[in-house]
Amino acid sequence: MIDTLTLRRPDDWHLHLRDGAMLNAILPETTRHFARAIVMPNLVPPVVTGDDAAAYRERILKANPRKGQFEPLMTLYLTEQTDPEDVAMAHASGLVKAVKLYPAGATTNSASGVTNFENVRAVLEKMAEIGLPLCIHGEVVTPDVDIFDREKVFIDTVLDPIRRTTPGLKVVMEHITTKDGVDYARSVDEGLGATITTHHLVINRNHILVGGIKPHYYCLPVAKRETHRLALVEAATSGDKQFFLGTDSAPHLDGAKETACGCAGCFTATNTMSILAEVFEKEGKLDALEAFTSINGPTFYGLPLNEATITLRRGNPVRYPAKIDTENGPVTVFDPQMPLHWSVEA
């Protein structure tokens, strides 16, 4: 049995770092293991312009305890007022690596997102021209579409049409949760990627709802039935170039989750690598872990692979904190409900 595993240092292609006290508290959980991360722009107010992204990047670098060892890859939050020239400048300077599309109302802090896709056409065309990827939270918000169907309906009625009317646009389907998402990502040869989160490889909708409601398993897109989880595990462990890790680690204070109208988001930065090693090992696919965490993502984004490595070692169950303390209260770390045997060497 393999008991050590050395990988190129992983990157996280979908991460929420927040700001202020939360940023200070949770950033080390990511920088301990990860070299780079695509940083989501859904702050309040959102990161809309190149100037906003430059200022946010400085705040992240200032908060980083491991100076020089972590590179935040910045994104812009697409609004119906976004200026294509500002996007092009932020890309040309090397600051911005993607633009993020939130359908207005789809998820946490998405109120400034897009309602009428015609109003962002010029930005999308500019992005296709300059090769800047569009990262998409792929759920419709139509009230009469069941929340468990919102990803599939989005693929059919929004994503596919956008891709067809904007040839050459590079797209990342963020945090896919369905077999439909896996199949769509595989139906296209070039220019389409899909991130898969850590938690969607572990939980299905029963984890949220059976035996009492579990707010710390509630995230968006909401976890689906087991057949979909199995499709995600198959995709992540396949090594196929479309699929790469985007943890979507999304901290909220416990007080904001354990309440009558709790926020969506699972916080997995702390134990992601141990969980992934466990999942890949169970599938007999440890040899595909590096493709998922460290190769397919940078290859899609056209960025160099990390030269540094991390080593995972198999042993007694790994201990990790149940909560991370912030100035304003604790954040619960995702509980995978299984012992984790792979620890990351310091």
Ligand X SMILES: NC(=O)N[C@@H](CC(=O)O)C(=O)O
Q: Residue 75 pairs with which residues in a beta bridge?
A: 98
* Catalytic residue status for 180: no
Q: Judged by CB under 6 A, does residue 75 bind ligand X? A: no
- Within 13 A of 240's CA, how many CA atoms are on the CB side? 21
DSSP state of 189: S
Rounded Cα distance, 72 and 26, in Å: 14
Residue matched to tokens 């569009």: 134
For residue 22, the one-letter residue type is M
Binding residues: 14, 16-18, 42, 100, 137, 175, 220, 248, 252, 264
Beta carbons of 101 and 139 less than 8 angstroms apart: no
CB of 197 to Zn ion, least distance (A): 8
Binder of ligand X out of 107, 112, 195, 204 (CB under 6 A): 107
Rounded Cα distance, 111 and 266, in Å: 20
| Degrees to nearest 5, angle at CA 8 with 132 and 25 | 75
Binding residues for Zn(2+): 14, 16, 100, 137, 175, 248
Nearer to ligand X, 137 or 224 (CB): 137
- In the shown chain, the binding pattern of residues 129 to 148 toward Zn ion, with x for contact by CB under 5 A and - for none, equals --------x-----------
Nearer to ligand X, 107 or 326 (CB): 107
CB of 207 to ligand X, least distance (A): 14
Query: From the list ligand X, Zn ion, none, which binds 265 (C-beta under 5 to 8 Å, kind-based)?
Result: ligand X
CB of 324 to ligand X, least distance (A): 15
CB of 167 to Zn ion, least distance (A): 25
The pair phi, psi for residue 343, each rounded to 5°, is -105, 150
Q: How are the residues of the chain apportioned to helix, strand and coil, as percentages rounded to the nearest 5?
A: 35, 20, 45
Q: Residue 250 pairs with which residues in a beta bridge?
A: none
Nearer to ligand X, 9 or 216 (CB): 216
Binding residues for ligand X, per CB under 6 A? Answer: 16, 42, 107-108, 137, 219-220, 248, 250, 264-265
Q: State the catalytic residues.
A: 248
Report the interface residues with Zn ion, using CB under 5 A: 107, 137, 248
